[in-house]
Structure 1
Amino acid sequence: MNPALHVEVVQRSQSRATKDFVKEIVRSFLLNFVSLSPGVILSETDLEENVELKEHVQMITFCDIEHDTEVLVTETELVYHIYKLDAFGAESDTMTDTSTGEEFAAADVWALPSEQFHGLWESLIYDTKLKEDTVRFVETAFEFADRGVDPNVIGWNRVVLLHGPPGTGKTSLCRALAQKLSVRLADRFPRARLIEINAHGLFSKWFAESGKLVARLFERLEEIVADRRLLVCVLVDEVESLAHARRAALSGLEPSDSIRAVNALLTQLDRLRRRPNALVLTTSNVTGAIDVAFVDRADIKRRVGPPSARAAYEILRGCCGELMARGLVAPREPVFELRVLEGSRFAESEPSRASLRLWGVAREAAGAGVSGRALRRLPFLARALHVRDAAPPLPRFVDALGAALRDHLADAADMDDAAVHAPV
Structure 2
Amino acid sequence: MNHRLHIEVVQHRQSRASKDHIISLVHPFLANLTVLTPGVTLRGGDLPESSELKENVEAITFCDVEHPDGTDLLMVDTELLYHVFKLEAFGAATETMTDSNTGEEFVVAEILSLPAQELHGLWESLLFESRLKEDTVHFVETAFEFAEHGVDPNVVGWNRVVLLHGPPGTGKTSLCRALAQKLSVRLAERFPRARLIEINAHGLFSKWFAESGKLVARVFERVRDITADPRLLACVLVDEVESLAHARRAALSGLEPSDSIRAVNALLTELDRLKRCPNVLVLTTSNVTGAIDVAFADRADIKRHVGPPTARAAYEILRGCCAELMLRGCVKTHERVFALSTLKSSSWKSSAAAESSLQLWEVARAAASARLSGRALRRLPFLARALHLSSAPGTVPELRAFVAALQAAFDSHMRDAEDFRADDAGPDSLRGPDSLRGPDSLRGPEVPRGDPFSCGD
TM class, shorter-length: over 0.9
Shift in alpha-carbon separation, 1:115–1:421, aligned structure 2, 3 A:
closer
Q: 1:78 aligns with which of 77, 80, 84?
A: 80
In the other structure, the counterpart of 1:310 is 312
Q: 2:204 aligns with which of 202, 212, 224?
A: 202
In the other structure, the counterpart of 2:439 is none
In the other structure, the counterpart of 2:157 is 155
> Distance in 1 between the 2:241 and 2:425 partners?
28
Confirm or deny: 8 A CA contact 1:203 1:241 kept in the other structure: no
> Distance in 2 between the 1:25 and 1:323 partners?
31
Amino acid at match of 2:180: A
Unaligned runs of 5+ in 1: none
SS in 2 for 1:350: coil
Confirm or deny: 8 A CA contact 1:324 1:332 kept in the other structure: no
Shift in alpha-carbon separation, 1:205–1:25, aligned structure 2, 3 A:
farther
> Distance in 2 between the 1:306 and 1:299 partners?
23
SS in 2 for 1:419: coil
1:411 to partner: Cα distance: 1.0
Query: Percentage identity across aligned positions?
Result: 70
> Distance in 1 between the 2:341 and 2:256 partners?
54
- CA deviation string 1:388-423 (max 9, x = no partner): 06111111110101111111111111111111389x
Shift in alpha-carbon separation, 1:283–1:116, aligned structure 2, 3 A:
same
In the other structure, the counterpart of 1:410 is 415
Shift in alpha-carbon separation, 1:97–1:332, aligned structure 2, 3 A:
farther
Question: Mean Cα displacement is larger for which, 248-257 or 113-122?
Answer: 248-257
Unaligned runs of 5+ in 2: 428-457
In the other structure, the counterpart of 2:246 is 244
Confirm or deny: 8 A CA contact 2:10 2:59 kept in the other structure: yes
- Whether 2:191 is the aligned partner of 1:189: answer yes
Amino acid at match of 1:243: A
Q: 1:272 aligns with which of 271, 274, 287?
A: 274
Q: Which segments of structure 1 move beyond 4 Å, counting only runs of 4 or more?
A: 204-208
In the other structure, the counterpart of 2:122 is 120
- TM-score of the superposed pair, with normalisation by structure 1: 0.97
> Distance in 1 between the 2:236 and 2:355 partners?
46
Mapping for residues 2-401 of structure 1, pairs under 5 Å = 2-49=2-49, 51-67=51-67, 68=69, 69-203=71-205, 208-388=210-390, 390-401=395-406
SS in 2 for 1:109: strand
- CA deviation string 1:283-322 (max 9, x = no partner): 0010110000000000000000111111111000000111
> Distance in 2 between the 1:233 and 1:99 partners?
31
> Distance in 1 between the 2:206 and 2:249 partners?
14
SS in 2 for 1:267: helix
1:50 to partner: Cα distance: 5.3
Confirm or deny: 8 A CA contact 2:107 2:200 kept in the other structure: no
Confirm or deny: 8 A CA contact 1:207 1:261 kept in the other structure: no
1:33 to partner: Cα distance: 1.9
Confirm or deny: 8 A CA contact 1:189 1:231 kept in the other structure: yes
1:202 to partner: Cα distance: 2.3
SS in 1 for 2:378: helix
Amino acid at match of 2:55: E
1:250 to partner: Cα distance: 1.2
1:208 to partner: Cα distance: 4.8
- Whether 2:424 is the aligned partner of 1:419: answer yes
SS in 1 for 2:423: helix
- CA deviation string 1:48-82 (max 9, x = no partner): 42511111000000111112422222322110000
1:35 to partner: Cα distance: 2.4
> Distance in 2 between the 1:376 and 1:291 partners?
32
Confirm or deny: 8 A CA contact 1:240 1:291 kept in the other structure: yes
- CA deviation string 1:347-386 (max 9, x = no partner): 1011100000000001111111110000000000000000
1:215 to partner: Cα distance: 0.3
Amino acid at match of 2:150: G
SS in 1 for 2:20: helix
Amino acid at match of 1:192: A
> Distance in 2 between the 1:205 and 1:3 partners?
56
> Distance in 1 between the 2:264 and 2:225 partners?
21
1:274 to partner: Cα distance: 1.8
Shift in alpha-carbon separation, 1:114–1:345, aligned structure 2, 3 A:
same
- CA deviation string 1:78-109 (max 9, x = no partner): 10000000111100011111122111111000
> Distance in 2 between the 1:205 and 1:283 partners?
24
1:206 to partner: Cα distance: 6.7
1:11 to partner: Cα distance: 0.2
SS in 2 for 1:166: coil
Output the aligned Cα RMSD.
Answer: 1.4
SS in 1 for 2:424: helix
> Distance in 1 between the 2:208 and 2:355 partners?
57
SS in 2 for 1:319: helix
> Distance in 2 between the 1:53 and 1:273 partners?
42
1:110 to partner: Cα distance: 0.3
> Distance in 2 between the 1:31 and 1:361 partners?
39
